[in-house]
Structure 1
Amino acid sequence: MPVPPEVVEAMQRLRAESVSANTRAAQISDWTIFTRWCDRVGRRPLPAGPELVGWFLTEKSTEVRPDGRPAYAPSTLTRWVASINTIHSLAGHPKPGQAPAVREILRGIARTRATPPARREPLLTEDVRTIVEEMRARSSAGSWPDRVAERRDSALLLIGLTGAMRRSELAGLLVSDVRPHRADGLYVTIRRSKTDQAAAGRTVTLPYGASSATCPVCAYWRWRQVVDVWDDTGRGGVSALLSGPTDDHTEHCCRGRAGTSESVARPLFRRVHRTGGIGTSALSGQAIASMIQRRARQAGYAEEFVAMLGGHSLRAGFVTQAVRNAASAEQIMTQSGHTDQRMIALYSRQHAGLHGNAVTALGL
């Protein structure tokens, strides 16, 4: 007996919901690239055979940028094939990218482009301290809108570093995800992440800092105060709050804080307009990456280094700093959520190469 059409539609809808909204958006974007190429060459994209997908990959692999570099990395081409496979599967067709011929083409492209992957530079503890101090010096000499942006960016940098968070995790935080703990600092729930598509969630702990200037809990409450006042009284309340004497950050403001239950989903890190207005929507991952680069540039870092920074620099900075400070892989993974110690070893080789290395015992 055939499955009723309405059940088939419901099944396809549930299968589409098996991945995050960001992943689904990326799949649609990839599929659009393929369908436009098919329109150009006069072929039907659905269903597509292995020969058509192979033709698509071969042509795209030869495209170059104005500087002569390949336009698309092998990982991008592989992702396109995965998206093509997904769309075919949802439509009830065989996956053309699983054919041996397509897999061999992908392997051939990867072998001809055997270059190390570009990785983001980590921001270590001293880097974040330098950037935060520069931000605060600038904002203290500026207007209250400058102080709004400083409070947000300081909280984002310090929470991102201590929480070993990806930019998508920072962007997805709600006010209700942060719970104060009298002894430990803050418990932050990460409801979904890149490696947690099922949204099982995990909790990271942000401890009180020894210095009030770089205490992530203080930074959180300074930004939370602005968010609460804005949501309660708007521009006038925030202007009154931040137009007075500037905070010299010599005293902790985080002790004895108590949280309240939230019935409204309020994004924690939001857009801040140059006039000081705070938006209702969350910052995007790209906006977080751009902020990190902009703040590092303002702090005097070389442009070559700034160009290698991004949203992942805070997570990479946590792991690298922890390795350099002799934390064990298990301790690091407790906070970072990594499930494979080889990733920790990768950070160690790239940015803490002398830690635990016998080369230091050669006596040269």
Structure 2
Amino acid sequence: MQQENPKIPMTGSPRNCDNPTPKEDEMANTDDELEDGGASLIERAPSPHLAALSEKARDYARNARSDNTRRAYDADWRQFAAWLRRSGLDPLPTDPQTVGLYLAACVEGGVSAGARNIGEVSAGARNIGAGGRAPVSVATLERRLAGICWHYRQRGDPLDTSDRHISTVLAGIRRAHGRPPLQKEAIFADELIAMLATLDMDLRGIRDRAILAIGFAGGLRRSEIVGLDCGPDQSEDGTGWVEIFPPGADISSASRDSADVSSASNNDGGAVLQILGKTGWREVEIGRGSRPETCPVALLETWMRLGRISQGPLFRPIARKNGGVSANRLTDKHVARLVQKTALAAGIRGELTEGERRRAFGGHSLRAGLASSAQIEEAHVQKHLGHASAEMTRRYQRKRDRFRVNLTKAAGL
């Protein structure tokens, strides 16, 4: 005899499918909205406030590195991606072995455009100039590797440069192809005076005199020169500003820690630059010179007065047709071309050919010239240039202390 299952008593009111509970009714309405094409929480467009914050966050992310660094890293990635396409390889996921092959290919002058597998890539990398490309230096190769690593990090797939396929290949390249770094020639004070004398006395020449003098006296990078504004918070792309103090000015209100307030009336005045460099904000003091025609502060004041510069970028282009001053900012390439042109016109290093002299001088020649000319304690030069270490400052001091300490004689020979 089959026994019936005992009935389980129900507590509370039974569920009525025809009359759903309020929560079920709400869920059903939500489903109906989704079926009717209504916007769900995930699909809902972000609010204008969040959209503005997102755009601002992207701007901050872009400003994490300088424009020159971003352009260099982008060029490095494009070249790496083009090599991968020619070799039949994929950029993702990251493969340290592939990157090691690319480093070898760069040093050996490229690979054959017809290579389609790793074996052919390796064979092509062993043939110097197989791809018709000039080999790169070790410094350029390290920069390219940094650009590749940066792009991989942005894609959420970091590249492990400590992997043996990269680290050992790079160590071998340094050992076989390492050379002393090619540095720009330093420009000394007497050479700078000769360069200033080659410029015309028109408005463009007055501006260029101020650029050379301020760049030398401040030990500035070319990007720091053109990034100056007339005052704080005057432009979005500015990386610093200048404040000029006349002779005898009371500088106690400027909060100078090293200023002697009691002798404020006896000071010569000068210019104080607030600069955002590679190591953060730093303050650069530029004193007045002994002659107006070579004084950096006097030349800067003349340019600002005749160019009617009081707001925004400090150094600006000048139209060739009407001589009008633009509202835009000069590019840092102008500084490099200006140094090369005036050094060539002044006959500096006349024993070199014209092409060699153009390669020998650049924007860093001004910065290296101050570091090599200033006969003061190294700590002051390091602070002025904004270097994080004394070793970096010594790299800029071209031949300053050469043969001053003669260990040969000190040893008794």
Is the alpha carbon distance of 1:180 and 1:94 closer, same or farther for their aligned partners in structure 2, counting shifts above 3 Å?
A: closer
CA apart distance, 1:43: 1.8
Q: 1:15, CA displacement in angstroms? A: 5.2
Counterpart of 2:159 in structure 1 is 95
Give the TM-score taking structure 1 as reference length: 0.75
Deviation at 1:227, TM superposition (A): 2.7
Match of 1:127 among 183, 191, 195: 191
**AA paired with 1:283?**
L
Which aligned pairs between 1:100-115 and structure 2 lie closer than 5 A? 100-115=164-179
Q: Which sections of structure 1, spanning at least 5 residues, go unmatched? A: 141-146, 232-259
Please list every run of 5 or more consecutive structure 2 residues that lacks an aligned counterpart in the other structure.
Answer: 1-41, 110-127, 232-240, 247-266
Pairwise CA distance, 1:80? 1.5
**Residue 355 to residue 129, structure 1, CA distance change in 2 (3 Å):** farther
User: Quick check: 2:152–2:158 contact (8 Å CA) kept in 1?
Assistant: yes
Which residue is equivalent to 2:86? 40
C-alpha displacement of 1:70: 5.0
User: Counterpart in 1 of 2:256?
Assistant: none
Question: Where in structure 2 are the equivalents of 1:197-236 lying within 5 Å?
Answer: 200-228=280-308
Kept after mapping to 2: 8 A contact 1:82/1:97: no
SS of structure 1 residue aligned to 2:135: coil
* Map 1:158-237 → 2, pairs under 5 A: 158-176=213-231, 177-182=241-246, 183=267, 184-190=269-275, 192-193=276-277, 195-196=278-279, 200-228=280-308
Opposite residue 61 of structure 1, the aligned amino acid is V
Distance in 2 of aligned mates of 1:334 and 1:210: 24
* Contact 1:354 1:360 survives alignment (8 Å): no
Match of 1:334 in 2: 383
Q: 1:84 to 1:318 in 2, by over 3 A?
A: same
Paired with 2:289 and 2:313, the residues of 1 have a C-alpha distance of 24
- State percent identity of aligned pairs: 30
Provide the aligned length of Structure 1 versus Structure 2.
307
1:237-287 residue CA offsets vs partner (Å, 9 max, x unmatched):
xxxxxxxxxxxxxxxxxxxxxxx7x4xxx2222223433343333222222
Contact 1:53 1:97 (8 Å CA) reproduced:
no
Per-residue deviation, residues 140-171 of structure 1 (Å, max 9, x unmatched): 5xxxxxx1221111001110111011111112
* Structure 2 residue 368 is matched with structure 1 residue 288: no
- Counterpart-to-counterpart distance in 1, 2:408 and 2:380: 25
Q: Measure, in 2, the Cα distance between the counterparts of 1:282 and 1:161.
A: 20
Identify the residue that residue 57 of structure 1 maps to in structure 2. 103
Cα deviation 1:86-141 (Å, max 9, x = unaligned): 21112111314342211111111111112211111111010111111222xxx25x
Shift of 1:218: 0.8
Indicate which of 299, 308, 313 corresponds to 2:360.
308
Higher RCO structure (Cα 8 Å, ≥6 apart): 1
* TM-score, reference length from structure 2: 0.67
2:66 & 2:294 partners in 1: Cα distance? 34
Distance 1:98 1:170 in 2: 37
Kindly indicate whether the alpha-carbon contact (under 8 Å) linking 1:16 and 1:90 is maintained by their aligned counterparts in 2.
Answer: no
User: Which among 182, 201, 204 is matched to residue 149 of structure 1?
Assistant: 204
Shift of 1:12: 8.8
Which stretch shifts more, 158-167 or 305-314?
305-314
**Could you list the per-position Cα deviations for residues 301-335 of structure 1 after superposition, in whole angstroms to 9, with x for gaps in the alignment?**
3234443110000000001001xxx3110221232
Q: Deviations over 1:2-57 (max 9, x none)?
A: xx9999x9699465543233322222121111111112122222333112111211
CA contact 1:151–1:223 (8 Å) conserved in 2: yes
1:318 aligns with 2:370: yes
Secondary structure of the 1:280 match is coil
- Residue 250 of structure 1 corresponds to none
Letter in 1 for 2:337: S
Inter-partner Cα distance in structure 2 for 1:300 and 1:166:
23
Q: Helix, strand or coil: the match of 2:158?
A: coil
Deviations 1:47-88 (A, max 9, x none): 3311211121111111178xx995311121112222211211
Quote the Cα distance in structure 2 between the aligned partners of 1:17 and 1:346. 28
Counterpart of 2:228 in 1: which secondary structure? coil
Q: Does 1:19 align with 2:65?
A: yes
Amino acid in structure 1 at the alignment position of 2:331: S
Cα distance in 2 for partners of 1:310, 1:282 equals 20
CA distance change for structure 1 residues 332 and 359 in 2, over 3 Å: closer, same or farther? Answer: farther
- Mark the structure with the bigger radius of gyration: 2
Q: Aligned partners of 1:120 and 1:308: how far apart in 2?
A: 5
**Contact 1:173–1:268 (CA under 8 A) maintained in structure 2:** yes
Which residue of the partner structure matches residue 74 of structure 1?
138
